[in-house]
Amino acid sequence: MDQSRTRSLLLGAGGLVGVVALWWLLALTLLSGHHVPTPVEVVRAFREDGWEFYSDQFGVTVREAVQGFLVGTVSAIVLSAVVLLLPVAEAVVMQVAVITYCIPVVAIAPVLSIVIGAPEAGEPSGTAVALAALSVFFTTVVGSVLGFRSADRTSLDVVQVYGGSRWQQLRKVQLVAALPAIVGALQIAAPAAFLGAILGEFSGGGVEQGVGPALVQAQTTLNEGTAWAIGLACALVAGIGYAAFGLVGRLVTPWSKGAPG
């Protein structure tokens, strides 16, 4: 491990320790009367709730987020490819992407809940899946279109001179050129999908299991330890999703990081 990476890890660990220390200090002093638990109280709440409680709740929400992520990502990449093959469709595709980005999630969630309906017991919420898909669509469309258009013009001309079709240009040149941008967009989209799934559980009627209902229950019972534990676990899951696609980017597109491809 080189010195720069070691230094980054040490700085990250030091920052984390500093944040926890500051949180602990504020919880015991300035925020002592505002239902802010200390780190020890949060850990105690996690132990009392048990691993099974968190795995059950997060298992449902993660499944919803993954399903929505796949739907939104595949739709975005396919439409981005359509924009390159049929430039006349660009205005429509980009308008749809902007609309999905501008519509307030809290406003559209009740509508989707009525249209999709309540999920069966133990099944993923359709509203949560739909909101997860909407949460990733705009980012992935923009990243994919910009990535496809970053392809080298000379390489495209070479494929054309040798008799390659527009589809072959897209597959052999533009897709490769777009990979860094697509992976970067997915790195941002992964936490967004998880957030969209949680909001869908909050707003979707009839949802009995998941992170959303667990947070509502903790809020209703004023169980601040569990609420904070769930919140920190949400941050951890979102961070894992972000880091996972960062690792994918290093493996799939090493040239974008300055490493040999």
- The ranges assigned to domains in the chain are 1-36, 39-257
Query: How distant, in Å, are the alpha carbons of 51, 63, 146, 212, 235 from that of 55?
Result: 6, 12, 38, 14, 15
Is the whole model's pTM more than 0.75, yes or no? yes
Query: How distant, in Å, are the alpha carbons of 69, 125, 191, 220 from that of 204?
Result: 18, 8, 20, 18
Helices within the chain (DSSP H only): 3-28, 39-49, 51-85, 90-102, 105-116, 126-149, 153-161, 166-169, 175-203, 211-220, 224-252
State pLDDT tens for residues 209-260: 888 888 888 888 888 889 999 999 999 999 999 999 988 888 887 766 554 4
CATH of domain 39-257: 1.10.3720.10
Of the CA atoms within 13 Å of residue 160, those in its CB half-sphere come to: 9
Give me the mean pLDDT over the 191-209 stretch: 84
62 vs 68: CA distance, rounded Å: 10
Query: Residue 64 pLDDT more than 80?
Result: yes
Residues 6+ apart with CB under 8 A from 72: 132, 133, 134, 135, 136, 137, 140, 189, 193
Confidence class for position 172, pLDDT limits 50, 70, 90? confident
Of 172, 185, 178, the closest CA to residue 135 belongs to 185
